């Protein structure tokens, strides 16, 4: 299993300098990927320019949106162009984890239709395929830049609904789970594997997941402070997220083992503090070359 690390770009206290430090140090430490979270109504850095900046200061580590919320961005052609641009800067290192999203305030703030987001998302996914295939759109031809890889960046579709599984099979290279732990990952991965096989897709879907961690003397306090703020919209679910945070080195290693056993291909560990010491503690706690 590949081990990635989340950038602290969703932590309100993180600066741009913090994010770039994490990008450089994560690559030097040997992590497989850098991940980003995504929302609009919060004090976070925006995902797409964040990954463009990370691409500019790294050369090998992969970049993953885990996840990008598609529908409130509206225009599928423009979003396809933006993602292809990041992938161009990254030399083909971008993987797009993407889903419909579930916070209505993000949609209200962007003037988007929350109830109709599933249909919008389906249209965006079809638009990605058309744009990245080089379909002509006007006098100048296709929408560029040309993809760094044939077909464009691979898509990991998030969500546990029947529609999400359908989208994985129709449009995706695989599926990405939320922060519910290895058991939730295993339950969600089963229907994806079955649908993939039943549809006659070649090979196996790539299966990814994320988890939250904090290490060091105030690990529990860091995790609770950040996660209760970030998941404040979710009511009692915030308790579940806080309880699942990995706050000891042993807990991190146990989680890595559990996700590996469940068949996860990539686990991205997101920090609860932007301090670079958190990245260094994580690198000391796990074998980043285990994939």
Q: What is the pLDDT of residues 111-169, one digit of tens each?
A: 999 999 999 999 999 999 999 999 999 999 999 999 999 999 999 999 999 999 999 99
- The Cα–Cα gap between 222 and 121 comes to 34
Closest CA to 100 of 77, 121, 82, 79: 121
Please list the residues that pair with 138 across neighbouring strands. 141
The pLDDT, as a whole number, for residue 290 is: 56
Q: Please report the domains of the chain, with CATH numbers, ordered by start residue.
A: 2-285 (3.20.20.30)
- Residue 140 burial by CB count (10 A; 0-12/13-18/19+): exposed, middle or buried? exposed
In this predicted model, what pLDDT tens digit does every residue of 65-103 receive, in sequence order? 999 999 999 899 999 999 999 999 999 999 999 999 999
How many residues comprise the chain?
Answer: 291
Contacts 24+ apart (CB under 8 A), 121-127: 121/70, 121/71, 121/167, 122/167, 123/76, 124/70, 124/71, 124/73, 124/76, 124/79, 125/70, 125/76, 125/155, 125/167, 125/170, 125/171, 126/76, 126/171, 127/76, 127/77, 127/79, 127/80
Q: What is the pTM of this model?
A: 0.96
The pLDDT, as a whole number, for residue 35 is: 98
Q: In this structure, what token pair is assigned to residue 241?
A: 């997220």
């Amino acid at each position: 299993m590949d081990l990635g690390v989340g950038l602290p770009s969703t932590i309100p206290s993180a600066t741009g300098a913090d994010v770039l430090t994490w990008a450089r140090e994560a690559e030097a430490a040997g992590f497989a990927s850098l991940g980003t979270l995504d929302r609009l109504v919060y004090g976070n850095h925006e995902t797409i320019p964040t990954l463009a900046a990370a691409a500019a200061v790294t050369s090998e580590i992969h970049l993953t949106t885990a996840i990008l919320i598609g529908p409130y961005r509206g225009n599928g052609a423009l979003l396809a162009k933006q993602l292809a641009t990041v992938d161009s800067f990254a030399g083909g290192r971008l993987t797009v984890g993407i889903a419909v999203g579930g916070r209505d305030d993000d949609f209200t703030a962007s003037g988007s239709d929350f109830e109709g987001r599933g249909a919008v998302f389906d249209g965006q996914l079809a638009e990605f395929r058309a744009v990245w295939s080089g379909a002509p759109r006007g006098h100048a031809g296709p929408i560029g830049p040309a993809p760094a890889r044939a077909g464009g960046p691979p898509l990991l579709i998030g969500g546990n609904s029947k529609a999400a599984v359908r989208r994985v099979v129709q449009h995706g290279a695989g599926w990405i789970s939320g922060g519910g732990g290895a058991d939730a990952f295993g339950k969600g991965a089963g229907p994806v594997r079955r649908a993939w096989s039943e549809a006659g897709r070649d090979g196996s879907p790539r299966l990814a997941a994320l988890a939250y961690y904090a290490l060091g003397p105030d690990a529990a306090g860091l995790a609770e402070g950040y996660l209760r703020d970030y998941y404040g919209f979710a009511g009692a679910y915030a308790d579940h997220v806080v309880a699942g945070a990995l706050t000891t080195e042993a807990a991190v290693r146990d989680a890595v083992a559990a996700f590996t056993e469940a068949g996860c291909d990539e686990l991205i560990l997101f920090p609860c503090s932007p301090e670079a010491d958190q990245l260094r503690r994580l690198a000391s706690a796990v074998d980043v070359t285990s994939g």
